[in-house]
Structure 1
Amino acid sequence: MYSFKGSFKHLLENINIPFTIKTYEGEILVDSINSENEEKVETVVTFNDKTLIIETLSKYSICLDLLKYCIEVKLNELLKSKEEIISEIIKGQDVSEEVIKEIIPFVLDEFNLINLKLNQYDNNIIERLNEIFQKENAIIDKIDNYIVIVCISNDINETISKIINYINGDEKYYLSYANVKTVFELRDKFKVTKGRIELAKKYQLSSKVYSEKSLLFEEVIDCIDKKEKEKIYYNFYEAFSKFDEELIRTIEIFFNSGLCVSEASEKLYIHRNTLLYRIEKIKKISHYDISKFNEAAEFKIPFLICKSMMNNDIK
């Protein structure tokens, strides 16, 4: 049965009324009554299809209903699933440390959070993902249209690769992940990973996977005043509207490759010289040489703003 002593520890510490909880068969689960000779009163509660008997001394009979209520609250907490507890924590609801320790103790130490957003939600996706983590400590649930995975991974990149292979049929997805020191910072980490996904969607970025430290540049751009964004947009629109899909993809892959020509050309499946030709073409249109770091940084600000506004993502 459940480890009631751990779960009721705070009741034993904070309630001055001595009480006993035992099963209908007589097994004592919790006992803080030191006197066996004094007269007692009792009541019953049902937990998980089992009848439990609550006893206290007769002189506390007036408090029996209140005692029963407190114990029922704690029992209801124990009936919550792992997924319900994680959902409540992320939504900012109070969950006692005793209940967490009782049901999902591994989240009291360091663990990983993976946040997944699919273009189209598959009702079977959680069941399929559970197959990946069936031999590991993991909790998978849908929260606010995001698929949240709480797990312990020795190699987060390998774990993410497995997830991506499973959902490869749906190319439109975004994934963000974070390291969580303790469950009590889980809510903040969820907000961070959710924010990374929303930024990636807003600026229609080609990459699909982001750590909690990714997209700091986009985050800064997102904080620019709306009027200033509009000014930048109108100043650069004429030039940027000349970029076709091929050039836009080239720019994105080149940035994602850290301005590395060989890596970008490999990802684009083109010859190095072809990429250099495209970079020169971009320079002629925009007057920015994106092969140079400083000019690439200056270029990226209006590029992201114009791209987003042209797709009506920024009003």
Structure 2
Amino acid sequence: MLPNQTIQKLIQEIKRISGFDCSIWNEKAECLAMTNVKARPRQADVEELIQQYNSQGKEESTGEESLFLLENAEHFYVLAVAGTDDKAVMAGRFGLSHLESLASMNRNKMDKNRFIQSLLLDNLLLVDIYNQAKRLKIPVLQRRVVFLVEPKNADDNLVLETLKGLFSIGIKDFATSVEERHIILVKALEPTEDYEDIQHMADVIVDTLGMEAMVGVRVSYGTIVEELKDVSRSYKEADMAMEVGRIFYSQRRVLSYRVLGIGRLIHQLPASLCEMFLDEVFEGNAMESFEEEELAAVYTFFENNLNISETARKLYVHRNTLVYRLEKIQKKTGLDVRVFEDAMTFKIALMVEKHMRAMKEKES
């Protein structure tokens, strides 16, 4: 079904050119848009034309007004023109031709959207990918990358419209959604564009949506693929980058699958190994006994490269107070985080614990 805005614009254009009021109706004989409420035809006349089309194939009728029917895919449209003379009939036929073009373009757009969604979800055979891409005139051999945009409490349509303004959506690039709260952008790349350019694109998406649409977003992206059939791989990589970032790098607004650090490894560990490691490091559930100020101290300590003086300055505490808090952690775990090896073990354990918590939340 065509958007109401498109239908309203069409009938206003018909009236501007021909001077005749008109309206458009759907297959249920419901009026979708009109130029003048007083000039709309009787609903019964529209219903009668639809019945005659179904039984006799009749596409036009003239009574108190001129009616023209268009069947497009699973939808019917009836264009009603407030007039019965030759000029009104000509205006109606020209209007119907324009309506048919718009409906065909919209159907082609919807076909592309469904194709891209199926492609991303790996729901197509290889032969179907090539056949449908040829029919929809989508290049098969084209460098592409997939971006995943996650808005915070925002309407997906607002994000989509902003992306359309940034990129040539529907021509070379495609934006769609296959799950709630995620917009997927399949971006075509020039031969010279590399990951530095892709990072810049992601930054532009975050900044533009933040400033123009007032929407806070996180953006992730996969690796560059050379063929259309591999787009789903880039999407899965972007999806994994978003999930890893949500667990381990909550402060980052842009996440690259190629730069996930140790978070990538931990994310792929099975639950049994994670539990075994946590039991080894935090024997007796020491993680649950940590106080907030102790965790704040150790996180800041890691951020400042195990520098006692700089960490104390950032926390606005005395050096001895910081040492006391770190020693409390040592008593609970047996790990002295002032020593590099113990610090590394403790940091990995904290990340594994976050991963376990995320898995439990996902299961519940």
- TM-score, normalised on structure 1? 0.57
- From 197, 210, 219, the equivalent of 2:255 is 210
Are 2:238 and 1:193 aligned? yes
Q: Which has the larger radius of gyration?
A: 2
1:179 to 224, 236, 243: 224
Alignment pair present for 1:238 and 2:286: yes
Q: How does 1:50-65 map to 2 (within 5 A)?
A: none
Contact 1:113 / 1:150 at 8 angstroms: preserved in 2? yes
Cα distance in 1 between the residues matched to 2:262 and 2:111: 39
Q: 1:104 & 1:274 partners in 2: Cα distance?
A: 62
Residues 199, 253 of structure 1: alpha-carbon distance in 2 compared, 3 angstrom cutoff: farther
Aligned CA distance change for structure 1 residues 239 and 131 (closer, same or farther; 3 Å): same
Aligned residue among 119, 142, 146 for 2:177: 142
Aligned partner of 1:118 in structure 2 is 151
Distance 1:171 1:149 in 2: 17
Corresponding residue for residue 63 of structure 1: none
Segments of 5+ residues of structure 2 without an aligned counterpart are: 1-69, 74-106
Deviations 1:109-156 (A, max 9, x none): 212211122343413210111111148832111122321111135421
CA offset digits 1:30-49 (Å, max 9, x no partner)? xxxxxxxxxxxxxxxx9989
Contact 1:204/1:308 (8 A) holds in 2: no
Task: Give me the identity figure in percent.
Answer: 16
Letter in 2 for 1:304: M
From the superposition, tell whether residues 227 and 80 of structure 1 become closer, same or farther in structure 2 (CA, over 3 Å): closer
- CA distance in structure 2 between the partners assigned to 1:276 and 1:163 by the alignment: 42
Q: How many residues align?
A: 234
RMSD of aligned residue pairs (Cα, Å): 4.3
- Whole-angstrom CA distance in 1 between matches of 2:206 and 2:163: 10
Instruction: Name the stretch that deviates more: 186-195 or 270-279.
Output: 270-279
Distance 2:301 2:140 in 1: 37
In the TM superposition, what whole-angstrom CA distance separates every residue of 1:140-185 from its partner, at most 9, and x where no partner exists?
Answer: 1112232111113542122111111133344463523331221111
Report the CA distance between 1:314 and its aligned residue.
7.4
8 Å contact kept, 1:279–1:291: no
TM-score by length of 2: 0.50
1:301 equivalent to 2:337? Answer: no
Are 2:188 and 1:152 equivalent residues in the alignment? Answer: yes
Q: Which residue number in structure 2 is paired with residue 108 of structure 1? A: 141
Structure 1 counterpart of 2:203, which letter?
Answer: S
